[in-house]
Amino acid sequence: MTRRNILKSRRIVIKIGTSSLILPNGKINLSNIDELAFVLSDLNNKGYEVILVTSGAVGVGLNVLGMDKRPADIATQQALASIGQVELMSLYTQMFRRYSQKVSQLLLTRDVTDFPTSRENAENALSALLSMNIIPIVNENDAIAVDEMDHQTKFGDNDKLGAIVAKLVDADLLIMLSDIDGLYDKNPTIYDDAQIFREIHEITDELREMAGGAGSRFGTGGMTSKLSAAQILFENRQEMVLTNGARIREIREIIAGKEIGTYFYRK
Ligand SMILES: Nc1ncnc2c1ncn2[C@@H]1O[C@H](COP(=O)(O)OP(=O)(O)O)[C@@H](O)[C@H]1O
Ligand SMILES: N[C@@H](CCC(=O)OP(=O)(O)O)C(=O)O
């Protein structure tokens, strides 16, 4: 069955998680980054407005320093993000350049998107970039986003950031690339008989329970945070497709309305 509403999407936010950018051995997944650059550049050439929300600063930072696990200490995590973000952008810039696509970087913190004047500034910057045919690449400013008692600067995770960026740019669709084909009735990495949901219209407590449990090794989100992102989108009458970042080329089929991944929309 064709997802008819998706066919109308012109402004699309793509969120890619750490697990799609970093291989299980901690090295960079170069073929995925290259494929992402190709598909998004191609979409931009075809007149879609594309915004990329990327994770990976900490994961790439670990790779640069040859470390194999996230340090517990916050300041060291900040330092890793600061190191990794530069390398991550360097990789994106190189890959996108192969397809003659210009990109830019926006690093956001929660206080920016909570505070009306700075939120408007972020909206203006994004809209100016899109009008220049540039693909904005957004991440949380992890090097400085640390929650204080009375000053909340962290989004929590990049799934939420993806939903907030979709709201900022008034996107038609958020495509969330994970390490799994979609939302299942139980964790498919544990249960062989898990069944995928093709459509979700409401985020219920029962769903949240099905999505419980930890996510991948280098990321932070897990399936629960994808449901929280979907909830933010629902509140803004926006839509999301959760799909597997291992098959980036399918993004074009998703936009063509093909039934891939889990489609979150309110009836
Ligand atoms: N009901 C569920 N359906 C799908 N995945 C689930 C479910 N419950 C838990 N998970 C776990 O969530 C993981 C995806 O989240 P996450 O590791 O944060 O991915 P990413 O880093 O790509 O965003 C899956 O690999 C799986 O282990
Ligand atoms: N801003 C962090 C992202 C952390 C995060 O949410 O990761 P993921 O669950 O892989 O999307 C980083 O760049 O490392």
- Distances, alpha carbon 133 to alpha carbons 54, 101, 124, 171, in Å: 19, 9, 14, 16
Which residue has 């932070």 as its token pair? Answer: 220
Distance 222 CA to ligand 1 centre (A): 5
- What pLDDT, on a 0 to 100 scale, did the predictor assign at position 145? 87
- What pLDDT, on a 0 to 100 scale, did the predictor assign at position 256? 97
pLDDT tens for residues 30-43? 999 999 999 999 99
What would the two tokens of residue 205 be?
């407590």
- What pLDDT, on a 0 to 100 scale, did the predictor assign at position 267? 86
Instruction: Report whether pLDDT(249) > 50.
Output: yes
pLDDT tens for residues 53-87? 999 999 999 999 999 888 999 999 999 999 999 99
- What pLDDT, on a 0 to 100 scale, did the predictor assign at position 213? 54
Q: Report whether residue 56 contacts ligand 2, using a CB cutoff of 6 Å.
A: yes
pTM score of the predicted model: 0.95
- What pLDDT, on a 0 to 100 scale, did the predictor assign at position 151? 73
pLDDT tens for residues 125-142? 999 999 999 999 999 999
- What pLDDT, on a 0 to 100 scale, did the predictor assign at position 163? 97
Q: Report whether residue 210 contacts ligand 1, using a CB cutoff of 6 Å.
A: yes
**Domains along the sequence of the chain with CATH:** 4-264 (3.40.1160.10)
- What pLDDT, on a 0 to 100 scale, did the predictor assign at position 218? 47
Atom number of ligand 1 nearest to Cα 190 = 27
Lowest mean pLDDT among 68-77, 87-96, 140-149: 140-149
pLDDT tens for residues 158-217? 999 999 999 999 999 999 999 999 999 999 999 999 999 999 999 999 998 888 755 544
Atom number of ligand 2 nearest to Cα 156 = 6
Q: Residue 59 annotated as binding?
A: no
Strand ranges in 155-195 using DSSP code E only, listed in sequence order = 173-178
Confidence check on the interface: ipTM exceeds 0.90, yes or no: yes
Instruction: Report whether pLDDT(152) > 80.
Output: no
Distance 165 CA to ligand 2 centre (A): 15
Average pLDDT along the chain: 93
Average pLDDT over residues 226-238: 95
Atom number of ligand 2 nearest to Cα 88 = 13
Which ranges constitute the DSSP H helices of the chain?
Answer: 18-21, 30-45, 57-65, 74-97, 110-114, 116-131, 158-168, 205-210, 222-235, 250-255
Q: Residue 111 annotated as binding?
A: no
